[in-house]
A and B are shown apart, each in its own frame.
Chain A
Amino acid sequence: MSRLKKDYESSRFRRFEKWVDGEVSPPEFCMETRAPLKRIPPEELSGPRLNEEKINAQVYDERHNKELKIFRVVNKFASVALCVTLIGVLLWTVVYLPEFGNPDNPTNNEVAARYIEKGVEETGATNFVTGMILDYRAFDTFGESCVLFIAATCVQVLMRLDDSDDKEKMKKKQAEENDRIYEPKNDLILQKVSCVLVPLLFIFGIYIILNGHLSPGGGFSGGAVIGSGLILYLNAFGFKKTERFFTEKTFRRVSLAALTFYCLAKSYSFFTGANHLESGIPLGTPGAILSSGLILPLNICVGLVVACTMYAFYTLFRKGGM
């Protein structure tokens, strides 16, 4: 049994514990007894620009508050010391890292060798990375796409403005009206430039997605490019134009269809213990655009989900609805 101190409440450790927990009441240590400061008139503080220094000086009363002064100085030195320590530890670790590019490194194991030696033969993709993430590790990528979809759904739950009531509808309309006042809309320069850029962005995104198994790229990057093109179009022409072809219904249907297709196309291998059954689609000649079996449709699915998610995030944060 441990020995209990009789005067635990007044012991040094107990006081420290109280201080950490913030339970210290002011009279216990030092009640502040001093004349009130000369107040700075509010006209001096407010104004075109808030005078931050003066306000801080008034609030914290730095001249009389010794604790805060010490804390500030200690904080400065401690932060520098922490940074230096972190940098030192990291640099110290670098010394023990294996040499870059050494063939005997532990990262160069049989897994990477297998990918390099048999990757093209087994997946049909000349881009190893795509072959890895959409064939060997398709389960991971499915999870990633689902994470995107879940994130978009969560943002929708948090940010969506409900228009069930008439009052709510009015509110939303007013919000849109305000939006129109403050954000530059119908900007001629932006519209002309986006006339040129948006089709190029879409074509570039589609190219990245379709060439995912042949060259660097794939569903995630291509989808991001297409999503940014959609956002640019929305910024230039407003919600009225985009709602013609992209509403919440579109988002729901496209995301659901893409994720379901992905799930159905790949789940047979998940459920059979990931033992890589044949999909039945011929792999084709590596390098051709119609090759590598399921990778191309899976890339398209991932790209659709990513593009929809990006656009949904933007519209939800800006307007609270699509």
Chain B
Amino acid sequence: MEWVRLSVSAVLLFSGLLIFVAAAVGVNKFKRALNRMHAAALGDTLGILFMTLGLVVWKGISFASLKLLLVVLFFWLASPVAGHMISRLEVMTDEDLGEIEVEHREDI
């Protein structure tokens, strides 16, 4: 039973790590700000979820794991909104967006 738990947590941790590596490569590889943010958002949401889930499975359910899940909740609330704000500023200030089509909406 023990090794099943450990292997599940290892799989979760490694997949989280993989996502983070992909995000880091994407951030450094892409040239445009919007593309980079697209890559960075990957790690901030899915990567963090996998990492914390792996830790929770490893250590078992306790008060500390509840706190970890709260951290995930906070990140899921805060990080996409921060990304949204940055991309909005980028769209507003960058005169040369290339092939990206932007839909301007007044109500949001």
Contact = CB atoms under 8 A, between A and B. Distances in A.
Interface string B66-108: 0000000010011001001100110011011000000000011
A184 interface: yes
User: What is the size category of the interface that chain B forms with chain A?
Assistant: 10 to 19
B96 A187 contact: no
Interface in A177-203: 182-184, 187-190, 193, 196-197
A65 to B, nearest CB: 30
Overall SS of chain B's interface: helix
Contacts, number: 31
A182 B107 CA distance: 17
A235 B74 CA distance: 18
A88 B74 CA distance: 41
Given A187-B108, A188-B108, A182 B81 contact: no
B77 A189 contact: no
Given A48-B95, A48-B96, A49-B96, A184 B77 contact: no
B84 A190 contact: yes
Interface in A223-273: 235
Contacts of A183: 89
A189 B92 CA distance: 17
B97 to A, nearest CB: 10
A188 B85 CA distance: 11
A193 B95 CA distance: 29
A268 to B, nearest CB: 40
B89 A184 contact: yes
Interface string B20-61: 000000000000000000000000000000000000000000
Nearest to B96: A48
Given A48-B95, A182-B93, A187 B77 contact: no
A212 B78 CA distance: 26
B77 A196 contact: yes
Contacts of B88: 184, 187
A183 B85 CA distance: 9
A193 B77 CA distance: 7
A196 B81 CA distance: 12
Contacts of B85: 184, 187, 190, 235
B42 to A, nearest CB: 19
Contacts of A193: 77-78, 81
B76 to A, nearest CB: 10
A79 to B, nearest CB: 21
Contacts of B92: 182, 184
A164 B84 CA distance: 38
B84 A197 contact: no
B94 to A, nearest CB: 10
A190 B96 CA distance: 26
A182 B91 CA distance: 10
Contact of A189 (B74, B84, B93): B84
7 closest cross-chain pairs (CB), A and B = A48-B96, A184-B88, A193-B81, A188-B108, A189-B84, A193-B77, A190-B81
22 contacts: A48-B96, A182-B89, A182-B93, A183-B89, A184-B85, A184-B88, A184-B89, A184-B92, A187-B85, A187-B88, A187-B108, A188-B107, A188-B108, A189-B81, A189-B108, A190-B81, A190-B84, A193-B77, A193-B78, A193-B81, A197-B77, A235-B85
Interface of A: 48-49, 182-184, 187-190, 193, 196-197, 235
Interface of B: 74, 77-78, 81, 84-85, 88-89, 92-93, 95-96, 107-108
Given A184-B89, A189-B84, 7 more contacts: A48-B95, A182-B93, A187-B85, A187-B108, A188-B108, A190-B84, A197-B77
